[in-house]
Structure 1
Amino acid sequence: MKISKILASESFLSRGKHYFLDFKIAENNSNYINIVRSDSQPDGSYTRQCVTVFEEDFDLLIGCLSSLFSSAAYPDDREISVQDLRRMNADKGGIKSWEPELRPREKMLQLGREAMENAELLAMLIGSGSPNESALVLAARILDSVGGDLRKLSGVGLEEFCGFAGMGLAKSSAIMAAMELGRRMDALGIYP
């Protein structure tokens, strides 16, 4: 490996130690990661330590880092694996894991829109939650922010909606569009 090209690089400094993480491509077109630690010495010089991981070992490096981070995240349970974490998160499930009669969409089909809670209707507009929170919990958080007042909710702007974790431009715009339709129907005196 005579000539290496850096494809991506990150670095940081902590207590006189410089860390460099470089993703490189070698002259033979193989990829590798170079991790360097450079320590500042009292005489102004530096000592340098380097670890190189080649692309055929990336999966092992990622597996080791995943194991390390899961052990750090769950210090009381040293036996937990990445597969265990996936299973634990899958067991939490989202709305799809609920009994069908409890899911907002199915509830509306069975009982009609009048039987729906405001949070359930809002969750249907949101569509999907995140791995940490269902659309229904997110909808309840949004409603709580306006004290459950739909008139206040209709005045919430794009920036405010996007300020909620799990809300992006598409979900926020869908809610704003629905609220605007409701406002126009109210102005015309149209009640279903």
Structure 2
Amino acid sequence: MKNCNLATENFSSGRRNYFLDFKRAVNDNRYLSITRSDELDDGSYKRSSVVVFEQDFHFLISAMSSLFHSAVYLHQDNFSVADLVHLRTHGANKGIKSWDVNLRPREKFIALGGEQMSNAELIAMLIGSGHSDVSAVDLAANVLKAVGGRLDLLAAEDHKSLSRFKGIGIAKSSAILAALELGRRMCSV
């Protein structure tokens, strides 16, 4: 069985061609393949590719958003890198409310459904908020990272172990554990 293209886009600039392919692998994982193809003088092509798996899309989007945000200030007179760092750490709201509406977990859930969301985004909806340094999505990603991304191991955690994360107390740990318990019960019916 071969990997399946779900969606594709391409564009060219001079002797360079770019291909963005959203694919499904034979193991049913979905990923984005970004390929650049350069036409060489002899008529052949040199290709280079990057692959990003679906569970890492939110990291890619976050990184691109941060990059574009930084690029906005590149050509402003008398605006230094130190000014940008200060703006990002003190003057900018890092919360989910500051995100593009289409990237916010609740709005994304309504528009696309839960199937299109990462585990971190779904858990972020349960916990509701992060803390001053971390969004709810990043906080949820940190919790998942601690259990190797495995929901079965997360379900085995208790309130005390979840509360070791800054920003998670008894209410948020209860929401996470209750949702996982409901999922367990649904699977045992």
In the other structure, the counterpart of 2:173 is 172
Partners of 2:155 and 2:100 lie apart in 1 by 31
RMSD of aligned Cα (Å): 1.9
In the other structure, the counterpart of 1:154 is 155
| 1:17-41 deviation line (CA, Å, top 9, x unaligned) | xxxxxxxxxxxxxxxxxxxxxxxxx
Partners of 1:179 and 1:161 lie apart in 2 by 13
- Aligned-pair distance for 1:89? 2.9
In the other structure, the counterpart of 2:146 is 145
TM normalised by structure 1 equals 0.52
In the other structure, the counterpart of 1:104 is 105
Q: Displaced runs of 4+ in structure 1, greater than 4 A?
A: 85-88
Select the structure of larger CA radius of gyration. Answer: 1
Partners of 2:138 and 2:154 lie apart in 1 by 16
Partner SS state of residue 171, structure 1: helix
Query: Is the Cα contact below 8 Å between 2:94 and 2:133 reproduced in 1?
Result: no
| 1:126-153 deviation line (CA, Å, top 9, x unaligned) | 1001111000000000000110011111
Matches for 1:81-120 after TM superposition, within 5 Å: 88-120=89-121
| 1:100-128 deviation line (CA, Å, top 9, x unaligned) | 00011110111111111101001111100
Partner SS state of residue 177, structure 1: helix
Please list every run of 5 or more consecutive structure 2 residues that lacks an aligned counterpart in the other structure: 1-82
Partner SS state of residue 181, structure 1: helix
TM normalised by structure 2 equals 0.52
Partners of 2:107 and 2:170 lie apart in 1 by 26
Partners of 2:129 and 2:106 lie apart in 1 by 12
- Aligned-pair distance for 1:93? 2.2
Query: Is the Cα contact below 8 Å between 1:89 and 1:131 reproduced in 2?
Result: no
> Match of 2:119, as an amino acid?
N
Please list every run of 5 or more consecutive structure 1 residues that lacks an aligned counterpart in the other structure: 1-79
Give aligned-pair identity as a percent: 52
Partners of 1:111 and 1:134 lie apart in 2 by 21
Partners of 2:115 and 2:88 lie apart in 1 by 37
In the other structure, the counterpart of 1:3 is none
Matches for 1:52-63 after TM superposition, within 5 Å: none
Matched residues, number: 105
| Shift in alpha-carbon separation, 1:151–1:99, aligned structure 2, 3 A | same
- Aligned-pair distance for 1:87? 8.7
Partners of 2:104 and 2:133 lie apart in 1 by 18
